[in-house]
């Protein structure tokens, strides 16, 4: 994504890093764990031919800031990360936009649409079901496949220490342990993931992100359920047919419990959909986000 212009946006005490490029309606791209905005390298150039693409690193990842965690994990709540995303888009002059997001970034997108529905025109989420539903319906098969969900939320400092002892090995083990191994990842992009995982504070921020998802994020999700709030923005969900999400959960049914307008289907890949099936993601994105350029 070297043809895109890098940016740094300051929100409170956190610097948010990313890249922007292209022409057309605004489209925000959010990555997952343990990656960076580089996951979009295979599709961002094509998207930029039709949209203004803003790809950012979540706080705690990539070259964005790594604020200290707090006792209630507020600093790494998806609510705070959603505020980061909105601040980045506002910095670039966009008050309403589309969102394309994978994994952790898709959980941020969910909260962004829940808290700031007026800003999210529509969103395309990759390989997740709602966090509350996934925890609430955890099976042995899911726990085995997503072991890191339960490892990273253990009390400090053990998870942090184990990651920091060999962070590159951690990245390669997590990413390489899925359906396709490490084959889908370009060498230069893998090198970028490895560069960022060794930045001081990354192990702590990754654990904080997951601890937030298992605590304060669930509080926020339960508050939405109790109040009968559902996402109003059109939502499309894609998931890998070889991944654990589609095998362990009824993805569309769970999203229809929390959103009014849901469509989607599986694609022939594993968890890392943007890098394993870039053509399928592009085709869906061009179809789903085409109304953005007509408003």
How far apart are alpha carbons 100 and 105 in whole angstroms?
9
| Cα 125 → chain centroid | 8
CA atoms within 13 A on the CB side of 241: 7
Strand pairing of 262-267 and 25-30? unpaired
Marked catalytic residue, from 33, 41, 102, 271: 271
Exposed, middle or buried: residue 7 (CB in 10 Å: 0-12, 13-18, 19+)?
Answer: middle
SS3 state of residue 20:
strand
DSSP class of 122: E
Are 25 and 295 in contact, with CB atoms under 8 Å apart? yes
User: In the numeric block, which tokens belong to residue 33?
Assistant: 């764990």
Asked if 166 is an active-site residue, the reply is no
Catalytic entry in 57, 103, 121, 209: 103
33 belongs to the catalytic site? no
Residues annotated as part of the active site: 103, 271
């Amino acid at each position: 994504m070297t043809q895109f212009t890098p940016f740094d946006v300051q929100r409170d005490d956190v610097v948010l890093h990313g890249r922007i490029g292209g022409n057309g309606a605004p489209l925000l791209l959010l990555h997952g764990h343990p990656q960076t905005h580089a996951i979009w390298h295979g599709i961002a150039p094509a998207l930029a031919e039709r949209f203004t693409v803003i790809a950012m690193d979540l706080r705690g990842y990539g070259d964005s800031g790594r604020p200290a965690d707090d006792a209630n994990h507020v600093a790494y709540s998806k609510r705070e990360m959603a505020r980061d995303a909105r601040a980045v888009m506002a910095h670039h002059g966009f008050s309403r936009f589309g969102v394309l997001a994978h994994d952790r970034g898709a959980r941020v997108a969910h909260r962004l649409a829940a808290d700031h529905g007026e800003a999210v025109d529509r969103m395309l989420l990759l390989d997740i079901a709602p966090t509350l539903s996934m925890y609430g319906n955890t099976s042995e098969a899911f726990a085995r496949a997503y072991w890191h969900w339960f490892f990273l939320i253990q009390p400090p400092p053990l998870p942090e220490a184990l990651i920091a002892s060999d962070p590159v090995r951690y990245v390669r083990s997590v990413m390489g342990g899925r359906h396709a191994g490490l084959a889908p990842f370009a060498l230069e992009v893998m090198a970028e993931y490895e560069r960022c995982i060794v930045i001081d504070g990354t192990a702590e921020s990754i654990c904080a992100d997951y601890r937030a998802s298992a605590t304060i994020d669930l509080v926020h999700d339960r508050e939405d359920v109790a109040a009968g709030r559902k996402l109003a923005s059109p939502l499309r969900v894609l998931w890998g047919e070889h991944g654990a999400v589609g095998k362990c959960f009824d993805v569309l049914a769970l999203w229809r419990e929390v959103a009014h307008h849901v469509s989607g289907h599986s694609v022939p890949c594993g968890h890392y959909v943007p890098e394993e099936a870039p053509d399928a993601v592009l085709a869906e994105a061009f179809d789903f986000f085409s109304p953005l350029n007509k408003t």
